Each structure stands twice: as C-alpha cells, then as structure tokens.
Chain A
Amino acid sequence: MKGSWLVLKKEMYYWTKDRRTLFLTLFFPLILYPLLFGIMTKMGMKDSQRLNTTVTQVSMEDPANILSPTLFREGSGFERFTGPNVNIPLALSQEEFHLFIKVPHDANLNVKSQKPIALEITYDPSKDVSKKGFSRIQKFIKDNDALIVVERLSELKISPEILEPTRISVIKTTGANEEIGKLIGLFLPYFLLISMYAGAMQFGADITAGEKERGTLLSLLTTRLSRLEIMQGKMLAIFCVSILGIAINLLAIGLGGFTAGNLVLSDRIEQAKGLATSLGSSMPPNSVNIDLQSILTPQAILLTLGLLIPLGLLFSAIILTIGAQSKSVREANVAMVPGIFVVVAIGVFSLAPGIEKLAYLPFVPLMNITVVIRKLFAGQFVMWEYLITLLMTLLLTWFTVALSGRLLNRENALFKS
C-alpha cells in the first residue's frame, strides 16, 4: 500500500507542476463564477431598474376624454405620445410608444348608464417596456375600477364589503428554505455526476495512455513497485482530482451565488432606505432571509459525501481502465466521451418530474444516487433508500475496480503502444 501512496504523491506533485492546468482547474472557476454571476445579476438589476423607471409612452384615441385626465396625471408613470398617426405594430416594435389604447367614442354614454367601457389595448409582448406598460395599465385600470365601484356603492348606500364574501388568509407550512432546498436537490446531483466524470477525464487519460505514449509508464514498471500499487496510486490520483474539481466548482458557484445575493440585497436595502427616509422613518428595512445553514446541514453534506466517495472511485476505475487500454491520449479521450453522454442522460432523466416515486429506483446504479441526493435536500430523505443506494454503488465500484485490475495486469494493455 505504501507504493500506492508514493505513486499518488508523484501524480499529484506532477499535476501541480502544470501551471496552466492548475490555473484552469483550481483558480479559474473561483474567478469565473463570481464574476459571471456578479455581471449577470448586475445586468439583470440594471435592466429591471430601467424598466421600473421608464415612463410608459401611450398613444391614445380617447375622443370622449374619459380615461386621459386620470391616466396622464403627474407621477402616474404614463405619458401621452403626441407623434403622428403611424402603423401601430411597427411603432410598438420600434418602441416609438409602448401601448396603444382605444376608448370607444360613445364611452360617455356607458359611464352614465353604468355599463362597462370596452377598452382596446394593443401592445408588443416581445418588448419588455411594452409588456411592463401593459401590466402597469392593467393595475391602473383595476385600481381605477375599484374607486369607481366604491363610489357607486356609496351612492347606493351599500358597503363595499358586499364584493368580498370570502376573505382568504394563507399559511404556508414550508418557506423559501424548502423551495431552495428542492432546487438544490434537483440540480446538484446532475452537476456532481457530470463534473465528477468530465473533471477527471483529461487527467485520467494523461496519467494512463499519456504515460504509455511518452514511455514513462515503462520507467514506472521497472521499479520495485507492483503493477497493482501503480494502478491503485493512479486510481487514487484520478479520484483526488475529481473530488478536488467538484469542491472547487461548488465553492466557486457558492461564491458566485453569494456575490449575486449580496448585490441584490444591497440594492433592496438601498431601495428600502429611500422609502423609509421618504416616510420620515428611521426603521431598519426588513429583507428576505434564506438560511443556507438549515439547507446545507452537516448531516446532508456528510451523507452526500458518503455517496460521492464510492461514486468517485467507480468513475476513477472506469477512467483508469479506458485510459490504460488506449494507445494514446487522443484514443483515450475518444473512448471516454461516450461516458459523458451516459452521465448526462442519467442526469437529465433524474430531472424528470415524479421519478422519485419509482419503487425500484434505489436498485438502479447511478440513477439511485441522483434521486437520493434530490430527496436529501428536499427534506424527503428515507434512510433505507440511502443504504441500498450506498450498497449498490459500493458493489458496482468493487466489481469495476476488480475488473480494471484484471484488465490492467494484461501485457497487451501495458505495452499496447
């Protein structure tokens, strides 16, 4: 076993000597994800701010002057477009104005007879400002209608409560934490499977087929290390790189999420502070609080890790076997690529709704891991399913490791080049 550790040490030391790979594997994700998430959030916030502050330009036909006085009041968020009459769809698509409203010429009669006015609103759903204008006008009309109804009811001496025979009070038994947990559980297994396999693929090809191609495997085989020790050491190295890759990627995504969350939160605090100041209050603003500690509990992390270790060894044994059976790195990569498709297919299938209800799933290797992790973070963890999944994964890993050991001991595998 000492020999395996020596090989592992050599592989990891040699890996650290490749500065480009080291940068791309360890540091690049830590820079890329926070930067990407930050830029995307900032752009999203800027766009949302632009939409909220943009005054909706309305082109209007209101011969009876029914809606115009209230709609174009100062601070209403609507402004009358006073340009020439044009092709409406074209003007909307070119954002000359954002809405076109047509009020019927006999609207006055409808108001007097307390009948509905048939408004015709034209907007372009493919344009964000037009869509925003439409939602604004819907709210405006709803509020305006409520005022008219209250006025009419009061003239008839009827309480407005007559319009509200039922009042609903909603109590949610799960909060934002559970929703986030469910989301993490849905995407985490997919991410783990793919990054675990794909992350170690190149390294695995290099330390197996690559060493054969460069003739360094022959140097290793002439030392007093046994073939088993050499292969065990290489398998452990592939496993370490794969786990390290996942840890770095998760950390980078976490940092990205943290950066994006902070940007959103600071923006909300600024908005709330502005509101509090305008109301003459010094009350601190409340914010939406998602408690990640209650989602990523030590128990959930440990149980996930408990599955990732045999899974990592399984993938390492597969990569090692393919790599050692190949003559060159190129050949190894070609042979390993179909594995990505298998892993992606399993990952995509695991996203299917209701899949966790299939009773036989804990017995299906790889698939069971995705479902167990999904349930773990969604708060639907079942211990026996976890144990069966662990057992199945361990059995498959043991089988693959034993098979790769047999295959790798063959002379035509070692001297294929």
Chain B
Amino acid sequence: MIEVSDVYKSFTLKDKRTLKIKTIAAVQGVSFQVQPGEIYGLLGPNGAGKSTTLRMIATLMRPEKGFIKVAGLSTLDQPNEVRGKLGFLATDMGIYERFTPREQLRIFGEFQGMDSETAEKRGLKLLDDLGISDFANVKMDGFSSGQRQKFNIARALLHDPQVIIFDEPTTGLDVLTAKTVLDLLLHLKMQGKTIILSTHILPMVEKICSRVGIIYQGRLRAEGSPRQVMETYNSHSLDEVFFTLAASKEPEEIQ
C-alpha cells in the first residue's frame, strides 16, 4: 500500500537576468492512498507536479512537509528499504550501453540484494515476457527506443517489487508493444501489486485504472474512479476535465 499524506515540495529558480531567486511550489498538500491490487492513475499536464510526487514516493526527493509510506515503511526514515520494495520507471532513465541486458540485469539484481544467479534467471524470464530475449546477450548501444523502454521495465520489475511506479511506460512503444505492457500491468494487478501509473494516454487510463488522481498546479484537484471524476467536472472524457482545469490561474509563488 502507498500512503501519501499532505506532502509539500518546492524548488528555487534563479532569474538569470535579474538574479532574483524565486521559489516555486511544485507540490502543495497532496494526499492519496493506493491499495494492493489497484492501478492508480496519477494524471495532470506537464509541470503539474506528477513527476515530483512520484519521485518523492520513490525516495529520490524528500518532502518538505507531510509523509509518505510505502508498504508500511516511511520514505524519510527507511529510504533504502522502501526502494527495495519498489519498482520505478521514469521516461528519463538511461541504460548502460556497453553492457548486454543479461549483464546489466545481473548487476542490478545484486544492487537490489539478489544473488546474481537468481537475478539473471528472473531477468531472462522478464525479457522473454517482453519479447526481447533474443537480444539478451547483445550490447545495448544499438537498441531501439522501444527495446530500451522494454529493458527498463524488466529492470524495474527484476526484484519482484510489491509497489510499482510507472511514469509514461508506453513512451516510444508501438501499439502492439504498448498492449504487451498494458497486459503486463493488468497481470501485476492480478498478483496484488500496488501500482501507480502516470501517462498522457487517457483512454488507456479509463481502461485499466481503478481510480485516478488529477494533479494541477501542484494540488490534487480531483480523485476517484475515472467515471466519478468526469461527473464531478461535468465532462464526457478525462480530456475535457484537463481543459477545464487548464482555465485556472498560474502556479502560485511562495516568495
């Protein structure tokens, strides 16, 4: 289970011309919970605060206020243990191009506390599930963006995490491969995993997410099942909810 409780995060930006420092509130008092066996869609336009929220859950950033618990563990007090239970995928995650997938999965398995043999075995199984097992021993510098994304998914799931955070998992994938990833997510949901999915492909959200949360200007503006959210904003689709929210004012400045 994931419990996000009243978290805040801000960033400082320096104006190169005036040299003034501005503080921008990225996340302001966001709270939500995701239960095991549930896919929670965290939605919002670019710069809304989604990635910052996901990074705080993944212990990559510390919230300034509030707390986050992942599988009962505090992200502030037990960050290493939290990451051990969490599989994280972001769009800007790179790969070690001089390694083969097999080598890289073995190494990352060791980083996650697995023995290299188990890591390799499970890694090869995941590569097979994602349809790239033929490339297990090929240096990754020639991989396509789709193959890279599939590999990153395999790496995120390598240690069989209880909690999965996928930020734009279908980026760079064709329709068929994207379906493979969606099927994989549904399969993981069936296994009782706690999943947060962040994406701009809203029809996909309507199809697989039990609940969604819409972040805009750092605040969680709406939460519930996709249908409930659409009803709240008198809209026929989640796209329309976005347009309604976009008419709101600019991000607030703390200072």
A interface list, Cβ under 8 A from B: 3, 6-7, 10, 13-14, 17-18, 211, 214-216, 218-226, 411, 414-415
Contacts and interface: CB of A to CB of B under 8 A. Distances in A.
Contacts of B156: 222
A223 B111 contact: yes
Contacts, number: 66
A176 to B, nearest CB: 49
A224 B81 contact: yes
Contact of B83 (A10, A211, A216, A222): A222
Contacts of B60: 218, 221-222, 411, 414-415
Contact of B80 (A6, A18, A225, A415): A225
A6 B107 CA distance: 8
Interface string B99-110: 100010001101
Given A215-B94, A218-B90, A224-B80, 13 more contacts: A211-B94, A216-B96, A218-B60, A220-B111, A222-B60, A223-B83, A224-B81, A224-B83, A224-B84, A224-B111, A226-B80, A411-B62, A415-B60
A216 B97 CA distance: 10
A101 B156 CA distance: 90
Contacts of A219: 93-95, 108, 152, 155
19 contacts: A3-B111, A14-B98, A17-B99, A214-B94, A214-B97, A218-B93, A219-B93, A219-B155, A220-B111, A221-B60, A222-B156, A223-B83, A223-B112, A224-B112, A224-B113, A411-B60, A414-B60, A415-B60, A415-B61
A17 B62 CA distance: 35
B65 to A, nearest CB: 16
Interface of B: 58, 60-62, 79-81, 83-84, 86, 88, 90, 92-99, 103, 107-108, 110-113, 152, 155-156
A17 B98 contact: yes
A215 B61 contact: no
Contacts of A18: 98
B88 A222 contact: yes
Contact of A215 (B86, B93, B113): B93
A415 B9 CA distance: 15
Among B58, B81, B84, B107: residue with most chain A CB under 10 A: B107
A6 B110 contact: yes
A215 B92 contact: yes
B245 to A, nearest CB: 26
Contacts of B113: 224
Secondary structure at chain A's binding surface: helix, strand, loop or mixed? Answer: helix
Q: Which 9 A-B pairs have the closest CB atoms?
A: A215-B94, A17-B98, A223-B111, A224-B84, A214-B94, A222-B88, A216-B94, A224-B83, A215-B92
Nearest to B111: A223
Contacts of A223: 83, 108, 111-112
A17 B100 CA distance: 10
Contacts of B83: 222-224
A400 to B, nearest CB: 25
Contacts of A411: 60-62
Nearest to A3: B111
A286 B156 CA distance: 72
Contacts of A211: 94
A227 B86 CA distance: 16
Contacts of B97: 214
B183 to A, nearest CB: 24
A343 to B, nearest CB: 30
Contacts of B103: 13
A219 B156 CA distance: 9
A325 to B, nearest CB: 15
Contacts of B108: 219, 223
A285 to B, nearest CB: 55
Nearest to B87: A222
Among A216, A218, A223, A226: residue with most chain B CB under 10 A: A223
Contacts of A221: 60
Contacts of A226: 79-80
A399 to B, nearest CB: 26
A243 B179 CA distance: 50
Among B79, B83, B156: residue with most chain A CB under 10 A: B83
Nearest to B61: A411
Contacts of A214: 94, 97
Nearest to A6: B110
Contacts of B93: 215-216, 218-219, 222
A369 to B, nearest CB: 35
Contact of A216 (B81, B88, B95, B112): B95
Nearest to A219: B93
Nearest to B110: A6
Among A14, A222, A224, A226: residue with most chain B CB under 10 A: A222
A106 B59 CA distance: 104
Contacts of B98: 14, 17-18
A415 B81 CA distance: 22
A166 to B, nearest CB: 74
A49 B17 CA distance: 70
A237 to B, nearest CB: 14
B202 to A, nearest CB: 26
A55 B81 CA distance: 85
A352 to B, nearest CB: 43
A218 B92 CA distance: 8
A136 to B, nearest CB: 63
Contacts of B152: 219
A13 B96 CA distance: 11
Contacts of A220: 111
Nearest to B103: A13
A396 to B, nearest CB: 30
A14 B83 CA distance: 24
Contacts of B79: 226
Contacts of B81: 224
B96 A225 contact: no
B241 to A, nearest CB: 30
Contacts of B58: 222
Nearest to A223: B111
Contacts of A216: 93-96
